[in-house]
Amino acid sequence: MRVSDLHSFFIYVFFGYFFIFPALCIALKLFNIKHPKQRKSLYLMALFAPFAGFALYHTVLEKRCQTGLLPGGLFWYYFEALCNIGKTAISFLAPLLVLLIVVGLLKALVGSIYLRRMQASSVELSKEERQRVESIIRDCCQHWRIAVPRLLFTAQRGFAAFAAGFYRPVVVVNAAILPQLTDTELAGILTHELVHIRRKDMLMGWLLHLLRDMMIFTPFSTILLDRYMLERERLCDLETAELLGSERQYAATLLKVWRLLVDRQQPSHRVVTSFTGRAREMEQRVTALLAGDEQKAALPGYLFSTLLFSMATMTILFLGLIC
């Protein structure tokens, strides 16, 4: 494949999202989709659409960057202009895309080094405190029948807990706030991180950030990724609250941990799966939890599957029409 063949990828991303994003918003509003799992699936489909379209039109489907709706006339010049724009843009962007892929791969290495440095400066807890944390972790892992992850306690500020690692997951806990948390509150924090580990969210998050970086020339990719990440947190909140048996109690835990972090230091924004997020996201997560059964409402499985398949098909066919 020549570098110039990548011009259709630029067109699918830059121009395609002007169709994909409004269509997605209309579908969410029209079908009143509120369940975080279904919303997350739609955002994921939208993020992958340009890549899927590019792969299909260069392999399974016959690729033609010239046809449009008519073989000549106004449409011919319109589509030819799009192709020329794409070829010009990709000639400048190709080196940047390669660099972004390399940077994305380096992020995983940097994350591993960061964890090792954190482990070297880890904090030793009292025997009772460590047993309390390990007991909660063990009970949750037995419930889901998953391996118990490594535990790492740190004095670094800016977060309550986060899960990291693709193959050997580790849960990093801020030791400074542990004495101020009850067993129930601590169970909420740790269970939330175990849900991420069970779903392998760390690997998916790294992959999606890499794909977003490759679509850096459009703001829609960042918007879609942010909304996907919010729905992922909402889904983890929902599973955690169901396991603990109380949405309101878990919502109170979220607010308490946020207050503890703000009192000590503004929460830092790391490229990790962390218990707390930005202030606006925290507000939306707490509001959703307090809404109770409303956020659990979901379209019937067959109807949602049909909608998801139809939107993916129409999106890819549309991408082929614009180039």
Query: What's the pLDDT at 49?
Result: 93
CA distance from start to end of the chain: 17
Q: What is the distance between the alpha carbons of residues 35 and 234, in angstroms, rounded to a whole number?
A: 9
Q: What is the distance between the alpha carbons of residues 247 and 234, in angstroms, rounded to a whole number?
A: 12
Q: What is the distance between the alpha carbons of residues 241 and 289, in angstroms, rounded to a whole number?
A: 8
Angstrom CA distances, 55 to 97, 118, 189, 247, 316, stand at: 17, 40, 40, 42, 10
- The burial of 63, by beta-carbon neighbours within 10 Å (0-12 exposed, 13-18 middle, 19 or more buried), is given as middle
Upper half-sphere CA count for residue 24 (Cβ side, 13 Å): 25
Instruction: Output the tens digit of pLDDT for each of the chain's 323 residues.
Output: 565 667 888 888 988 899 999 999 999 999 999 899 999 999 999 999 999 988 888 887 765 544 444 455 556 667 777 777 777 777 777 788 888 888 888 888 888 888 888 888 888 888 888 899 999 899 888 888 888 999 999 888 778 889 988 888 999 998 888 989 999 999 999 999 999 999 999 889 989 998 998 898 899 999 999 999 999 999 999 999 988 888 899 999 998 888 888 766 544 444 334 555 566 778 888 888 888 777 777 889 899 999 999 999 999 888 887 77
Annotated domain spans of the chain: 3-322
Query: What's the pLDDT at 275?
Result: 59
* Residues constituting the chain: 323
Q: What is the pTM of this model?
A: 0.86
